Amino acid sequence: MLSEAGAGLARADRSIADAERSIRHLRDIVPRIAAQGYPTGQVEDQIEMMMQMLSHLKTQRWHIEGMLGQP
């Protein structure tokens, strides 16, 4: 059972890492878009919201691991 849980946590870790890379890449692109004259305020707001959601997911993931480690 724990091996299944461990595999699930590993998948979650990979997905979180992939999402974080994607969001950072998007954040890196925003200044170039702004330099071309496009408005980026809404995109920047969305990026901030995604980072907050990702932080929440990371916290939940660590709570799950903690619960699995309890007797």
Q: How many C-alpha atoms does 61 have within 13 Å on its Cβ side?
A: 18
Residue span of the structural domain in which 61 resides = 2-69
- pTM of the full predicted structure? 0.80
Are 57 and 16 in contact by the 8 Å Cβ rule? The answer is yes
Distance CA 69, CA 48 (A): 32
Tens of pLDDT along 14-35?
A: 999 999 999 999 999 999 999 9
Count the domains in the chain: 1
Q: What is the CA radius of gyration of the chain?
A: 17
Tens of pLDDT along 40-61?
A: 999 999 999 999 999 999 999 9
Long-range CB pairs of 24-31 (<8 Å, 24+ gap) are: none
